[in-house]
Chain A
Amino acid sequence: MYNTGQSAVKKTGFQLLPPAETVFRGFLYGAAVCMILLLVGIFLTLLVYSFPSIREFGLRFLYGKTWDPVTEEFGTLPILIGTIITSFLSLAISIPFSLSLSIYLGEYSTKGTVASLLQGAIELLAGIPSIIYGFWGLFILVPIVRSIETALGVPPLGVGIFASSLVLSIMIIPYSASLGREVIRLVPDELKEAAYSLGATRFEVIRKIILPYVISGITAGNLLSLGRAIGETMAVTMVIGNANFIPTSIFAPANTMASVIANEFTEATGTLYVSSLIETGLLLFIVTMIINMVGKQIIKKMSVQV
């Protein structure tokens, strides 16, 4: 249908149109190819530069527990675990809030002052530089966490996995909330109206109609947020305690891969040290990729059910 229209135009003698069409399509292809080339390029760069470390440590890089720049012994198990725990914990903390926000903005209050104020606030939160979150976390949030820890009877360090997950969750809420709101607004009115006409309450409409319809979109939004949480550097490094030990509880200090790279890269000397930091980057890349692929599968399963 589309194609016949195009050839009809061609025949009527608009000579300029087909080249413009081609140029535009070429541009789109180009952008897409560039994107893939960039991704492959980054992956290859990381791979090549981490070669000395891969040759030296092999798989020990993954299960080694020591990160020692002095003796040049590098293992990433503690920081790998730290990364995964902080990012998933922050996602768990953020979901109730981001989901409520997106339902409120997508369904209850779509227009008006409150909605635009709230929307503005969310966008502003997303725009705050992460170092600001870090400092705010260190000077405001950490003392609060410390008093919670004192009340619970765990060592009152303040900094640690819990504090950094809290900061991270605040940082990722804007992303999942904005995406959630968009997909909730996309729910066809016919569906909702049909449910209302059958006597469903608002809560029932949300629970039985809207949520099943948008669940894959919401999951995708949360996945994007998780990616951000895994790669976040500055804010985490300020409040996590930067201790390269396998964490024993969610209040224990730990470290993440992104934070180690950011902390040590500037002053790292020696081929093996630099190469190990780059391999950590490669590992981060692969972890993000795996989580994304698993996420895609989950979304696919969910979409089929709807």
Chain B
Amino acid sequence: MKKFLCYLMILLLPLLAFSHYPAHAESKELLGAGATFPFPLYSKMFDTYYQAYKVKINYQAIGSGGGIQQLISKTVDFGGTDAFMNAREMQKAEVPILHIPTCLGAVVVTYNLPKKLTLKFTPDVIAAIFLGKIIRWDDPRIAAINPEIKLPAISIVVVHRSDGSGTTFIFSDYLTKVSKDWAFKVGADKSLNWPVGLGAKGNPGVAGLINQTPGAIGYVELIYTMQNNMPAGIIKNKAGNFIEPNIKSTSAAANIDMPDDTRVSLTDTDAADGYPISGFTWLIFYKEQNYGGRSKEQAEALMKLMWWVIHEGQQIAEQLKYSALPAAAVKKAETILQSVVYNNSPLLKK
């Protein structure tokens, strides 16, 4: 009997802990869902924010598509997405949805060659490799841009993502812009009809397969190559400069004349020192915050969080090797946040 009581106590303890919890946290809990790419950054940001302001933020990394769906069905306070909502998706929401960029990501071309070589690539060569038109590493087209390197005489094995992903979207969006052939034969989406190659699941799957297949080439997120010490191809950008992918060159890609709603694809950027396969990741939310019975406090809490994310939060981005927003993008995001209203009156002061 004593033992039973003891168990009962243990079982009831958590209930006790939770019993005074909802009253305390009701208006101070925000719910978000979406992109997986910035998830490590968001968890760190939201944790830091919770330590400072005691506002709990629950972000579910269910994928960009899911984030958009959840926001449209109004089950979350905000969504996260790696690809900005297209016109059709915006229409589905019926009321205006706003995007603010939170950080930048880059997609890196990585490979497995006998020696640790840093290769240069032009857009044409990347497209030709992923279209299956260049099939050997010692192809003259690769040799022409890497004259100082002796390329191994082995076959190229293309590795791509098998699961639908924002990484594939950014990569194929880039190739669609730089290669007519690619645009005609493949196009841009989260999943593609790949002309050649092996598919692997997730960044770890692609990296794993590349690491163990001699002659393999594929694409992964920049953070992934930095954490795993993988080679990263240097890519020629629109201005004609060969750019090494890193946090700085990714941020630099956003130094362009961008539209006021920040819904812009940064691939093949005009910025002279920008890495060409970069992209924003966004948080999305409604312009009119009074919907579905949300309180004004809830809306204000959300706006404070967003403001914090594009200002103080940016320091965390650099720590975690995400590329922080350049000043111009922060400025645009500020204006967007100031346009958010509750019952038609602005939530943030100018």
Interface of A is mostly: loop
Pair B209/A138 contact, Cβ less than 8 Å: yes
- Which residues of chain A are within 8 angstroms of B89 by Cβ–Cβ distance? 269
A residues 111-134 near B (Cβ < 8 Å) are: none
Q: A266 to B162, alpha carbons, bound, how many Å?
A: 12
Pair A158/B63 contact, Cβ less than 8 Å: no
Pair B191/A159 contact, Cβ less than 8 Å: no
Q: A255 to B194, alpha carbons, bound, how many Å?
A: 13
Q: How far is the CB of B216 from chain A (nearest CB, A)?
A: 9
B residues 181-203 near A (Cβ < 8 Å) are: 186-194, 197-201
Q: A106 to B69, alpha carbons, bound, how many Å?
A: 54
Pair B212/A139 contact, Cβ less than 8 Å: yes
Pair A267/B197 contact, Cβ less than 8 Å: no
Pair A264/B191 contact, Cβ less than 8 Å: yes
Q: How far is the CB of B93 from chain A (nearest CB, A)?
A: 14
Pair A159/B198 contact, Cβ less than 8 Å: yes
Contact of B212 among A66, A158, A262 (CB under 8 A): A158
Pair A268/B191 contact, Cβ less than 8 Å: yes
Given A69-B190, A69-B193, A157-B157, does the pair A266, B164 have CB atoms closer than 8 Å? yes
Pair B192/A243 contact, Cβ less than 8 Å: no
A residues 40-81 near B (Cβ < 8 Å) are: 66-71, 73
B213 an interface residue at 8 Å Cβ cutoff?
yes
Contact with A along B59-82 (1 / 0, CB 8 A): 000111110000000000000000
Pair A70/B164 contact, Cβ less than 8 Å: no
A249 an interface residue at 8 Å Cβ cutoff?
no
Given A238-B205, A242-B199, A242-B200, does the pair A267, B64 have CB atoms closer than 8 Å? yes
Q: Which A-chain residue is minimally distant from B164 (CB atoms)?
A: A267
B140 an interface residue at 8 Å Cβ cutoff?
no
Pair B193/A68 contact, Cβ less than 8 Å: yes
Contact of A264 among B155, B163, B187, B208 (CB under 8 A): B163
Contact of A66 among B64, B165, B193, B213 (CB under 8 A): B193
A-B contact count (CB 8 A): 92
Pair B62/A266 contact, Cβ less than 8 Å: yes
Q: A71 to B189, alpha carbons, bound, how many Å?
A: 10
- Which residues of chain B are within 8 angstroms of A255 by Cβ–Cβ distance? 162, 199
Q: A265 to B209, alpha carbons, bound, how many Å?
A: 22
Q: Which A-chain residue is minimally distant from B204 (CB atoms)?
A: A135
- Which residues of chain A are within 8 angstroms of B197 by Cβ–Cβ distance? 243
A residues 241-261 near B (Cβ < 8 Å) are: 241-244, 253, 255, 259
Contact with A along B10-44 (1 / 0, CB 8 A): 00000000000000000000000000000000000
A263 an interface residue at 8 Å Cβ cutoff?
yes
A143 an interface residue at 8 Å Cβ cutoff?
yes
Contact of A237 among B64, B162, B190, B214 (CB under 8 A): B162
Q: A238 to B213, alpha carbons, bound, how many Å?
A: 14
Q: How far is the CB of B112 from chain A (nearest CB, A)?
A: 12
Q: A267 to B64, alpha carbons, bound, how many Å?
A: 7
Q: Which B-chain residue is minimally distant from A237 (CB atoms)?
A: B201
Q: Which A-chain residue is minimally distant from B168 (CB atoms)?
A: A267
Q: Which B-chain residue is minimally distant from A242 (CB atoms)?
A: B199
A142 an interface residue at 8 Å Cβ cutoff?
yes
Pair B163/A266 contact, Cβ less than 8 Å: yes
Contact with A along B91-115 (1 / 0, CB 8 A): 0000000000000000000000000
- Which residues of chain A are within 8 angstroms of B213 by Cβ–Cβ distance? 146, 157-158
Contact of A263 among B66, B162, B186, B194 (CB under 8 A): B162
Pair A253/B198 contact, Cβ less than 8 Å: yes
Pair A243/B186 contact, Cβ less than 8 Å: no
- Which residues of chain A are within 8 angstroms of B155 by Cβ–Cβ distance? 155
- Which residues of chain B are within 8 angstroms of A237 by Cβ–Cβ distance? 162, 201
- Which residues of chain A are within 8 angstroms of B157 by Cβ–Cβ distance? 157
Q: Which A-chain residue is minimally distant from B212 (CB atoms)?
A: A143
- Which residues of chain B are within 8 angstroms of A263 by Cβ–Cβ distance? 162-164, 191, 199, 201
Pair A266/B198 contact, Cβ less than 8 Å: no
- Which residues of chain A are within 8 angstroms of B190 by Cβ–Cβ distance? 69, 267, 269
Q: How far is the CB of A207 from chain B (nearest CB, A)?
A: 44
Q: A156 to B214, alpha carbons, bound, how many Å?
A: 9
- Which residues of chain B are within 8 angstroms of A69 by Cβ–Cβ distance? 164, 189-193
**3 closest Cβ pairs, A-B complex:** A242-B199, A267-B164, A242-B162
24 contacts between A and B (CB under 8 A): A66-B193, A67-B193, A68-B192, A69-B190, A69-B192, A70-B187, A73-B193, A142-B212, A155-B155, A156-B214, A157-B198, A157-B213, A158-B212, A241-B198, A242-B162, A242-B199, A243-B198, A243-B199, A263-B162, A263-B199, A267-B165, A267-B191, A269-B65, A269-B190
12 A-B pairs besides A70-B188, A70-B192, A157-B198 with CB distance below 8 A are A66-B193, A68-B193, A69-B190, A155-B155, A157-B213, A158-B212, A242-B199, A263-B163, A264-B191, A266-B65, A266-B164, A268-B164
